[in-house]
């Protein structure tokens, strides 16, 4: 959600901070601000470029912190933007997360004479440190005391005129990453913003804080005890954090589709022996042999990839699977019996609900295996084993390439589990492996139809309501297609299982309510054709996604986009690509910046 960037070194801080914020823009925000030690603070509502224009070259200094805000407490406004300060403007800080006891703390501080400028929960932290300093203790002791007093979640970067050559950072529930440079250090809420400066990073764990100078860093726990931790090296490249000639990250990431599959299977699928190996699961292999039940839990697009995984695992590995929104799982007293395994899927590795769900599952003794893109993220660190996507950062708020990789990893996991438990025949195993290997070329074929899909999208751009329907392996794709469309074009779209049509949704169908029908040549194809007939009989317009070679749908549907043939288990990976491109062109056709959809954030790190 909000983005944090901090710098301490020998260069001018302001341009580095502005660029850091730009790298975090994709996370979603409504205002931004920046503080440079010895120079002052500037804030602006709206985009980072507004802040940049206001700053000009006015703030000179080599230590500072900056923030993009996504409003929780208090409307988006300059006064509510971070950084926030104490009464005297001596302590400045930027915060991600929510201070849950800010109300009571604020009342106590006001009673002691503190003057608050904003309506935020964050400001209370600056005043609390200020108050603690009155005890005559050091700045770090005053900070530590404040950290022990506040409840809730925080990722914090703090600067003070008391110690102008230092920055402090702290973390509980909201990610903070430290980038170790040469004579300079960086702080960010997301490692992708640090990659252009250094690839040596240290992820803070919950309950840790650190003191930084340009040349040093020292981590501590909440008892004040020092913690030793060596930096780790991020493999992401700088190119992966740029648009590479595309207008939007979203299209760049869709177009990476074929490489996403190659990178996801890299080191896991031996193309000569046709064997799947998941060495990252070795540590839990003994337990996997005997698991009795799997619960897949996640949010948004990641959950839809899990729905595809559910079908794969039950069909091939023969383990009962349930799928559940993490936001429900965490609150509804779930029963996690011995022998239950949790699979969480998350691009960011920081989604608050997913994290809370795996913590609840672990508390009840479950084995937790996660599919995560961001190495070093909280969910990656708290899982018993992790399959990393290996696809570089996903920057577009609308998740596209992560979905492709997540489903691919589910296919590999299914084969691995099926073999481990002896539920898959060699012939089937080999067939699936060969089809996985063929996916990149097939995806390339779909991507080459971008212009054709753009034309189709332009025909549908005028509609304000859409139904997406699928069955079996394309059932989750109906949800995913609808989600993609609504989040970037603000068009009403509903995903439905085609079998549910007669139980309600068909009532909505008329000439102004088109249906996107996923009608691939699979075991439920004929059922889908019947559903399409029913829609046509009610004057509904139909855009069908069909398998190459299909000769029926051209005359039945209004428009057809063809995708290459594959086995049913993998068809979701092909069916989703035209829907991603379709959504992209409806969104851009309506004039929206699809990389920064309104009200949305890339990482949902608060509930």
Binding stretches for ligand M6R (CB under 6 A): 299-302, 346-348, 351, 354, 397-399, 483, 487, 600, 603-604
412 with 278: CB under 8 angstroms? yes
- C-alpha span between 413 and 434 (Å, rounded): 15
- The phi and psi torsions of 591 (rounded to 5 degrees) equal 85, 20
R_g (Cα) of the chain, nearest Å: 25
**Tokens found for residue 352:** 């608050």
Q: Is 204 or 372 the residue whose CB approaches ligand M6R more closely?
A: 372
353 with 326: CB under 8 angstroms? yes
**Tokens found for residue 206:** 């919950």
Q: Is 1 or 569 the residue whose CB approaches ligand M6R more closely?
A: 1
* Least CB distance to ligand M6R at residue 369 (A): 15
Q: Which residues contact 95 (CB under 8 A, 6 or more apart)?
A: 2, 4, 67, 82, 84, 122, 125, 154, 155, 156
Active-site position among 106, 252, 401, 602 = 602
- C-alpha span between 295 and 343 (Å, rounded): 6
- C-alpha span between 425 and 388 (Å, rounded): 27
Q: Is 139 or 329 the residue whose CB approaches ligand M6R more closely?
A: 329
* Least CB distance to ligand M6R at residue 150 (A): 26
* Least CB distance to ligand M6R at residue 176 (A): 17
> Catalytic site residue 148?
no
| Integer CA distances (angstroms), 242 to 27, 122, 199, 497, 526, in order | 15, 32, 16, 37, 44
Q: Is 144 or 357 the residue whose CB approaches ligand M6R more closely?
A: 357
**Tokens found for residue 434:** 């060969």
Alpha-helical (H) ranges within 56-111 are 102-111
Pairing of strands 367-372, 232-233: unpaired
* Least CB distance to ligand M6R at residue 372 (A): 9
* Least CB distance to ligand M6R at residue 602 (A): 7
Q: Helices 426-447 and 571-589, interaxial angle, to 10°?
A: 20
* CB-based burial label for 341 (10 Å; 0-12, 13-18, 19+): buried
- The phi and psi torsions of 322 (rounded to 5 degrees) equal -120, 150
Q: Is 86 or 487 the residue whose CB approaches ligand M6R more closely?
A: 487
Q: Is 180 or 483 the residue whose CB approaches ligand M6R more closely?
A: 483
* Least CB distance to ligand M6R at residue 466 (A): 16
* Least CB distance to ligand M6R at residue 335 (A): 24
How many helices and strands (H and E) does the chain possess?
Answer: 19, 27
Query: Which DSSP category does 278 fall into?
Result: -
- C-alpha span between 144 and 149 (Å, rounded): 9
> Catalytic site residue 2?
yes
Q: Is 212 or 402 the residue whose CB approaches ligand M6R more closely?
A: 402
* Least CB distance to ligand M6R at residue 379 (A): 8
206 with 155: CB under 8 angstroms? no
**Of all helices (H) and strands (E), which one includes residue 361?**
helix 352-363
Q: Helices 300-312 and 475-489, interaxial angle, to 10°?
A: 170
Q: Is 59 or 303 the residue whose CB approaches ligand M6R more closely?
A: 303
Q: Is 123 or 494 the residue whose CB approaches ligand M6R more closely?
A: 494
Q: Is 263 or 346 the residue whose CB approaches ligand M6R more closely?
A: 346
Report CA torsion sign: 395, 401, 407, 413.
negative
Count of C-beta atoms within a 10 Å radius of residue 165: 12
* Least CB distance to ligand M6R at residue 302 (A): 4
* Least CB distance to ligand M6R at residue 184 (A): 29
- C-alpha span between 429 and 423 (Å, rounded): 10
Query: Which DSSP category does 152 fall into?
Result: B
CA trace torsion 121, 125, 130, 131 (10° rounding): 80
Active-site position among 2, 299, 401, 541 = 2
**Tokens found for residue 344:** 């969480």
Give catalytic residue positions: 2, 602
């Amino acid at each position: 959600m909000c983005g944090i960037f901090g710098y301490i070194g020998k260069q001018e801080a302001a341009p580095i901070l502005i660029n850091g914020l730009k790298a975090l823009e994709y996370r979603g925000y409504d205002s931004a601000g920046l503080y440079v030690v010895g120079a002052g603070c500037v804030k602006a509502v709206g985009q980072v470029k507004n802040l940049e224009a206001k700053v000009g070259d006015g703030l000179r200094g080599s230590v500072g912190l900056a923030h993009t805000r996504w409003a929780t407490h208090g409307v988006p406004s300059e006064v509510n933007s971070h950084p926030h300060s104490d009464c005297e403007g001596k302590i400045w800080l930027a915060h991600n997360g929510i201070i849950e006891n800010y109300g009571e703390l604020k009342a106590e501080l006001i009673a002691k004479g503190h003057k608050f400028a904003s309506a935020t929960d964050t400001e209370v932290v600056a005043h609390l440190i200020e108050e603690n300093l009155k005890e005559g203790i050091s700045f770090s002791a005053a900070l530590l005391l404040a950290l022990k007093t506040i409840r809730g979640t925080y990722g914090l970067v703090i600067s003070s005129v008391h110690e102008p050559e230092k920055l402090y950072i702290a973390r509980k529930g909201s990610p903070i990453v430290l980038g170790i440079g040469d004579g300079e250090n960086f702080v960010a809420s997301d490692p992708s913003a640090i990659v252009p400066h250094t690839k040596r990073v240290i992820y803070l764990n919950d309950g840790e804080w650190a003191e930084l100078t340009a040349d040093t860093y020292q981590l501590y726990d909440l008892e004040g005890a020092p913690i030793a931790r060596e930096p780790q090296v991020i493999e992401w490249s700088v190119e992966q954090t740029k648009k590479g000639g595309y207008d939007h990250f979203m299209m760049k990431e869709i177009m990476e589709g074929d490489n996403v599959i190659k990178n996801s299977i890299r080191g896991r699928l031996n193309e000569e022996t046709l064997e799947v190996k998941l060495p990252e699961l070795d540590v839990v292999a003994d337990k996997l042999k005997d698991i009795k039940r799997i619960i897949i839990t996640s949010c948004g697009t990641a959950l839809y990839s899990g729905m595809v995984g559910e079908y794969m695992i039950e069909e091939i590995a023969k383990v009962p699977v349930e799928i559940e929104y993490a936001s429900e799982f965490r609150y509804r007293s779930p029963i996690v019996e011995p022998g239950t395994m949790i699979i969480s899927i998350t691009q960011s590795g920081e989604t608050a609900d997913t994290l809370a769900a795996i913590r609840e599952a672990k508390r009840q003794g479950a084995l937790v295996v996660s599919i995560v893109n961001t190495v070093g993220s909280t969910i990656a660190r708290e899982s018993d084993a992790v399959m990393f996507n290996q696809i570089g950062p996903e920057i577009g708020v609308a998740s596209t390439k992560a979905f492709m990789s997540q489903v691919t990893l589910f296919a590999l996991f299914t084969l691995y589990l099926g073999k481990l438990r002896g539920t898959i025949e060699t012939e089937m195993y080999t067939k699936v492996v060969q089809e996985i290997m063929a996916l990149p070329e097939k995806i390339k074929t779909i991507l080459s139809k971008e212009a054709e899909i753009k034309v189709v999208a332009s025909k549908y751009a005028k509609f304000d309501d859409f139904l997406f329907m699928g069955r079996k392996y394309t059932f989750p794709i109906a949800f995913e297609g609808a989600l993609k469309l609504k989040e970037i074009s603000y068009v009403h779209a509903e995903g439905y299982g085609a079998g549910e049509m007669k139980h309600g949704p068909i009532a909505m169908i008329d000439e102004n309510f088109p249906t996107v029908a996923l009608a691939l040549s699979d075991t439920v194809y004929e059922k889908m054709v019947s559903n399409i007939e029913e829609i046509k009989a009610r004057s509904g317009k139909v855009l069908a996604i069909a398998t190459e070679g299909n000769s029926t749908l051209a005359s039945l549907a209004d428009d057809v986009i063809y995708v290459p043939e594959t086995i049913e288990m993998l068809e979701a990976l092909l069916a989703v690509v035209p829907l991603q491109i379709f959504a992209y062109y409806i969104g851009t056709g309506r004039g929206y910046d699809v990389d920064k959809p309104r009200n949305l954030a890339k990482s949902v790190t608060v509930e």
